[in-house]
A and B are shown apart, each in its own frame.
Chain A
Amino acid sequence: MLWVDKYRPKTLAQVVVHEDIAQNLTKLVTEQDCPHLLFYGPSGSGKKTLIMALLRQIFGPSAEKVKVENRNWKIDAGSRTIDLELTTLASTNHVELSPSDVGLQDRYIVQEIIKEMAKNRPIDTKGKKGFKVLVLNEVDKLSREAQHSLRRTMEKYSASCRLILCCNSSSKVTEAIRSRCLNIRINAPSAEQIVKVLEFIGKKEGLQIPSGFAARIAEKSNRNLRRAILSFETCRVQQYPFTSNQAIPPMDWEEYISEIATDIMKEQSPKRLFQVRGKVYELLINCIPPEIVLKRLLHELLKKLDAELKHEVCHWAAYYEHRMRLGQKAIFHIEAFVAKFMSIYKAFLIATFG
């Protein structure tokens, strides 16, 4: 078991990073009830950990006893029947699912399955705690229609069911849903917090951490706690005892993008652009989302760029990312950005060096 999982706080009391939020959540559920919740924040900041801890706070340890269910649903949609396959994690008191897994048909998940789950009110042995929690992951990936159907469900079955929504960006969740939830923003942990966590783990594992080493990992982790802990463990496996200037293995895909950026800086021509296209395809094939490719590419390019160009390049990156989200074929837009960058940079080079 990796350290990430091993040292994941199980209860709200154990939470180190977002202590204030954890305390607030504890207060929130002391009455054994809570409003709908919407957790949002970047990945690796601890949303899921907090949600699990919260569930445990509400339902006790039984919340951790989950079973995986892979169910086929047959949904009658007017003239035709739609077959959907959905994996759910269910304990007696809660169900976790990612409706966006089924793609365009997520509407039916929300309309039929969630509704059905929400309707069934669990009866406690004591006959008292009569509500159920539905945890929906990646709500921001839900289609607009699905989100619209969700808002009615949220109101209608609020007596028997609480929804905990989890997503990266609240901007993609419609206003209507946001207003029905208590929004909880989980920001990315700061470098100090990460260092604190790493030192905590180091102490538990009985490791000697040279000064500054944890800070370096934290810095490289991009304020992503999961990544920081994984890097930490990687370093431990690679070389122990630590030295303060020990190499921290990079993420391969980031390394690859940085290679692409170097390529772009070296030569600006359609031919080079064609090579870049091949590499970008490689990344996309290996499930790196195009937005992240673009963002990371911009990041790498900015590192190597003169200050006076940075503003313009950022502008164009934003422009093409917007287009990419409007469009369908991400490769067109990433490539257009690269071409634009090449054009700007080349013009700049010519202007500067003649």
Chain B
Amino acid sequence: MDMDMDMDIPLPEELELLEANSHFYEESYIDSPPSDPSPPQSPPLKNLEIDGSKRPRNSDAIESQPEENKRTKRIDIEEEEEEEEDWLRYAPPEETNVEVAVEKDEEVYLSRFMSAINGDCIPVTAPSGGERVYAKISGAQRDEGLEKLNCKERSKGLLPEPVNVLLQRVEQQAFAKALEASSEHQNDITIPETTMVHEQLWVEKYAPSSFTELLSDEQTNREVLLWLKQWDSCVFGSEIRSTSDEVLSALRRLSSTQHKKSFDSDFSRKNRGHRWINGNNNHIDNVDHGTNNLKGMQEFWNKNSRLTGPPEQKILLLCGSPGLGKTTLAHVAAKHCGYRVVEVNASDDRSTSTIEAKILDVVQMNSVMADARPKCLVIDEIDGALGDGKGAVEVILKMVSAERKHDFGKENNAKKKGSKTASLTRPVICICNDLYAPALRPLRQIAKVHIFVQPTVSRVVSRLKYICNREGMKTSSIALTALAEFTECDIRSCLNTLQFLHKKNETLNVMDISSQVVGRKDVSKSAFDIWREIFHKRTKRDRKSNTSSGSSYGEFDFLHALISNRGDYDVILDGIHENILQLRYHDPVMHKTVKCLNSLGISDVMQQYVMRTQQMSLQVYQPSVAITLHRIVAQIQKPTLEWPKSFQRYRTMLMEKTDILRAWHQKIPPYMSRHLSTKSCIEDLISPLLHILSPPNFRPVALHLLSETEKNNLTQLVNVMVSYSITYKKMKSDSLSSNMGHEAVSDASALSFEPPIGEFIAYKDYRSDPHVLPLAMKQVLLHEVEKQKILQVSTGKSAQRTDGCCNGDQGVVGKGASVAKSAKTIEVPPWKQSKNPLQMSGRHVVVLISLKGLENQAAEVLWILKLQ
């Protein structure tokens, strides 16, 4: 057991180290001697700690390792270490610069840069301050080296103060704390002035300072860390090495200890190993389990380890709603990997020029001061200010694209030379709330995007509870759970609320949360969420957890706030309309449906009125329509929703068709078009016209084979087509969904009406049956129509010369003649034709002569003659 613990002790830390691409094996050598003296720990004791009974009980506990140096701090092992952690928290300033000084005059064992160490080395990160150094591994004289190292540590090495001094201080601190706590207990009401002065915001005070304390989703944390690690080769000059067997075995052991620890350690409040928490303490089982897990992981690592340059995507984009810990994660992860964080947020000037300078500064320069860690740029709230935020996005995009080009030419060797082209050589983390903000569109494509999900309520609650205990605030888990749910796991808002209540010396109870005490977040949800809320009836339990009263009043409030926060009533109502008929609600006589549609109608009338009179204040009544609908149709089961497209589709299609119609209308000569409005075109004209244009009794034969009446009919038809400026046009056969589609066309192209008037009656699921002409007939018609048009133009010219006739009449006259003529396939030039009236299909002959008369009246008379 003892030995086992010895090996296990550093392991959770190992995980991080692993991520730091280290060799577990060597590492453990360095590691174990300091932790050797640590006594085995009994789980029950730890359990006590979870309850937060009290901290400084074991202040007499034996030794304390110089834990605060870069060796691991195993808080869950020893109580006194716990204390130290406390101490770390209470006095961070003293702690932070502990390990700044690294010896460089002697043989270098520890250095901030890999290059400073001869031989093998591993990266080590101190959990407390996030300091990161590389430690030398000396294979041959390990023991001596370690001895030396330890000596140094003891004497002056990494600690600016000797251990015993530190120890003393710890005791003092603990004592003071105990005193304070007891005095607080005695007189709760009179909080000493001094504490008031020094009080920080809890949000800052309890901000996670190390990777293990992060509250956000484990998966995301790891991926962010992994991404940062991929920069190592570029930034620190080390290489990502694939996991060796030793590491694997270490990991296996780690995971098994994780099981135990996460189960019973007070670290369960932190996020480590939550996916392994299954309450199973059985060692062997877990080992197997762990191995399986790790194999996948190893493959993953192997795949990634091939990369020597910076990661493929040079920008990391974190997004998520406020208070989930994005900024914290960015800071902690960067610190963990040994970067100095440079943050640019909305409060800074973010115009293109300044941001560019800043980024260049970050990317290319190193500080000459003590804190010489490479920098990592965190651009917070990048979606915030549109105008300025855009500047940042632009600069980043420019740099990335520059890098791309560079890479393209020179493969991966652009590490240090890339400075001229201002390429990105340091990690950049962007943080936003709304991933789909328009400004971020270009960035989204090149960045690695991580979407934050809400941490589970239980995790948030346990953390809150821990903090409350630390602050001596009495709470119940029920109240904390309610608070967490109310704020949607926004831990920042939870903490602020708690601190506020604490200040007022109030306890948190469930009633407070729904009352005015706690500010509700004013978030606008997506339209989909709103529809879901409207159509989805929450079960009693759901509702209770959401609003403490659980009454319909609360529900009303909830929905009202939801809808009015979104505000886009038009879209919301469209969505309701689109989806409402797909719901399954019991409605035998359709009363509910009628009610719903009536409500929608009311909202439409209201909307129209508001827009017309511009009385926007009336918009406040719109949400109530949606709530009415909710009361009528909401169901327990979740609805499947669709974005309302049909109305938009209707609008655009209508526009298209109207345009077609209008264009056609304009082509019809005015003496006809003026009698037709577009409306009457559709209502009265198109259906008969289609019938007329495709007579059933046409024989597709050569023209001279037609009988006299057939010729007449053909002439008539061509005449109609020309006067309504309709012709046939070649179309791809697959696009023939219109009336022409009924035709069984074998060849690739078919002829269809131009303009496509057939489409106006091509309703879905409707088969109109205008007789469709055979293709040969259409070709004949097309030919005739084209010919006719040419003739018409020339007769039009001659008519202009004659300069007196009514355009329309004359056009018709000419047409009749020439069609008849062309039907006989006699090619006569039009001018000749009009001067030389050949005998033709009876009635037109008379009219042709009138062209010569060239007088209005004559033409008129003749025209009338012709009619009678």
Q: Interface digits, A79-120 against B, CB 8 Å rule (1 contact, 0 not)?
A: 000000001010000001010000000000000000000000
Give the residue of B590, B674, B684, B759 whose beta carbon is less than 8 angstroms from that of A343: B590
Instruction: Please give me the residue from chain A that is nearest to B692 by CB atom.
Output: A237
B616 in the interface, Cβ–Cβ < 8 Å? no
Residues of A within 8 A of B696 (CB): 237-239
Residues of A within 8 A of B682 (CB): 253, 286-288
Chain B contact-residue range equals 35 or more
Say yes or no: B688 contacts A284, CB within 8 Å.
Answer: no
A154-162, A185-193, A223-231, A307-315: which lies at the interface: A223-231
A77 in the interface, Cβ–Cβ < 8 Å? no
Instruction: Please give me the residue from chain B that is nearest to A70 by CB atom.
Output: B666
Contacts A43-B680, A287-B678, A339-B594 given; indicate if A5 touches B666 (C-beta within 8 A). no
Q: Interface digits, B854-868 against A, CB 8 Å rule (1 contact, 0 not)?
A: 001100100000011
Say yes or no: A249 contacts B675, CB within 8 Å.
Answer: no
Give the residue of A287, A326, A335 whose beta carbon is less than 8 angstroms from that of B605: A326
Instruction: Please give me the residue from chain B that is nearest to A257 by CB atom.
Output: B763
A78 in the interface, Cβ–Cβ < 8 Å? no
Instruction: Please give me the residue from chain B that is nearest to A230 by CB atom.
Output: B688
Contacts A252-B766, A286-B760 given; indicate if A346 touches B590 (C-beta within 8 A). yes
Residues of B within 8 A of A328 (CB): 604, 607-608, 611
Instruction: Please give me the residue from chain B that is nearest to A287 by CB atom.
Output: B682
Residues of B within 8 A of A152 (CB): none
Residues of A within 8 A of B771 (CB): 238
Q: How many angstroms from the CA of A256 to the CA of B611 in the assembled complex?
A: 34
Determine how close the nearest CB of chain B comes to the CB of A339; give it in whole angstroms: 5
B646 in the interface, Cβ–Cβ < 8 Å? yes
Say yes or no: B684 contacts A233, CB within 8 Å.
Answer: no
Q: Interface digits, B71-104 against A, CB 8 Å rule (1 contact, 0 not)?
A: 0000000000000000000000000000000000
A68 in the interface, Cβ–Cβ < 8 Å? yes
Residues of A within 8 A of B657 (CB): 285-287
Contacts A44-B684, A233-B692 given; indicate if A336 touches B675 (C-beta within 8 A). no
Q: How many angstroms from the CA of A52 to the CA of B806 in the assembled complex?
A: 14
Instruction: Please give me the residue from chain B that is nearest to A66 by CB atom.
Output: B670
A39 in the interface, Cβ–Cβ < 8 Å? no
Contacts A8-B675, A137-B677, A287-B760 given; indicate if A274 touches B581 (C-beta within 8 A). yes
Residues of B within 8 A of A226 (CB): 675, 680, 684-685
Say yes or no: A249 contacts B719, CB within 8 Å.
Answer: no
Q: How many angstroms from the CA of A226 to the CA of B676 in the assembled complex?
A: 10
Q: How many angstroms from the CA of A342 to the CA of B581 in the assembled complex?
A: 14
In chain A, residues 302-346, which have Cβ atoms closer than 8 Å to a Cβ of chain B? 320, 323, 326-329, 331-333, 335-336, 339-340, 342-343, 346
Residues of A within 8 A of B689 (CB): 2, 230
Say yes or no: B594 contacts A343, CB within 8 Å.
Answer: yes
A-B contact count (CB 8 A): 214
Say yes or no: A89 contacts B674, CB within 8 Å.
Answer: yes
Contacts A253-B683, A336-B594 given; indicate if A2 touches B720 (C-beta within 8 A). yes
Q: Is the interface of A mostly helix, strand, loop or mixed?
A: helix
Q: How many angstroms from the CA of A330 to the CA of B632 in the assembled complex?
A: 23
Say yes or no: B653 contacts A326, CB within 8 Å.
Answer: no
Contacts A8-B675, A329-B604, A343-B594 given; indicate if A251 touches B684 (C-beta within 8 A). yes
Q: How many angstroms from the CA of A257 to the CA of B661 in the assembled complex?
A: 21
Instruction: Please give me the residue from chain A that is nearest to B653 by CB atom.
Output: A285
B589 in the interface, Cβ–Cβ < 8 Å? yes
In chain B, residues 603-653, which have Cβ atoms closer than 8 Å to a Cβ of chain A? 604-605, 607-609, 611, 646-647, 649-650, 653
Q: How many angstroms from the CA of A331 to the CA of B650 in the assembled complex?
A: 10
B537 in the interface, Cβ–Cβ < 8 Å? no
Q: Interface digits, B119-131 against A, CB 8 Å rule (1 contact, 0 not)?
A: 0000000000000
Residues of A within 8 A of B822 (CB): none
Instruction: Please give me the residue from chain A that is nearest to B606 by CB atom.
Output: A327
Instruction: Please give me the residue from chain A that is nearest to B665 by CB atom.
Output: A87
Residues of B within 8 A of A269 (CB): 590
Determine how close the nearest CB of chain A comes to the CB of B48; give it in whole angstroms: 61
Give the residue of A204, A250, A277, A333 whose beta carbon is less than 8 angstroms from that of B581: A277
Q: How many angstroms from the CA of A331 to the CA of B600 in the assembled complex?
A: 10
Residues of B within 8 A of A326 (CB): 605, 608-609
In chain A, residues 236-288, which have Cβ atoms closer than 8 Å to a Cβ of chain B? 237-239, 249-253, 255-256, 259, 268-271, 273-274, 277-279, 281-288
Q: Interface digits, A1-37 against B, CB 8 Å rule (1 contact, 0 not)?
A: 1101111100000000000000000000000000000
Q: How many angstroms from the CA of A327 to the CA of B600 in the assembled complex?
A: 11
B597 in the interface, Cβ–Cβ < 8 Å? yes
A121 in the interface, Cβ–Cβ < 8 Å? no
B: residues with CB less than 8 A from A are 577, 580-583, 587-591, 593-594, 597-598, 600-601, 604-605, 607-609, 611, 646-647, 649-650, 653-654, 657-658, 661, 666, 670-672, 674-675, 677-680, 682-689, 691-692, 695-696, 713, 719-720, 723-724, 759-761, 763-766, 768, 770-771, 806-808, 812, 856-857, 860, 867-868
10 A-B residue pairings within 8 Å (CB atoms):
A52-B674, A226-B675, A230-B684, A251-B683, A252-B687, A253-B682, A274-B581, A286-B760, A287-B658, A323-B604
Knowing that A268-B590, A331-B650, A332-B597 are A-B contacts, what are 11 other residue pairs whose CB atoms are under 8 Å apart, sorted by A's residue number? A2-B720, A2-B724, A5-B671, A96-B674, A237-B691, A237-B713, A285-B657, A329-B604, A332-B601, A333-B604, A339-B593
Which 6 A-B pairs rank lowest in CB-CB distance, beginning with the nearest? Answer: A230-B688, A336-B597, A252-B761, A343-B590, A327-B604, A274-B581
A: residues with CB less than 8 A from B are 1-2, 4-8, 43-44, 48-49, 52, 61, 64-68, 70, 87, 89, 96, 98, 137-138, 204, 224, 226-227, 230-231, 233-234, 237-239, 249-253, 255-256, 259, 268-271, 273-274, 277-279, 281-289, 292, 320, 323, 326-329, 331-333, 335-336, 339-340, 342-343, 346-347, 350
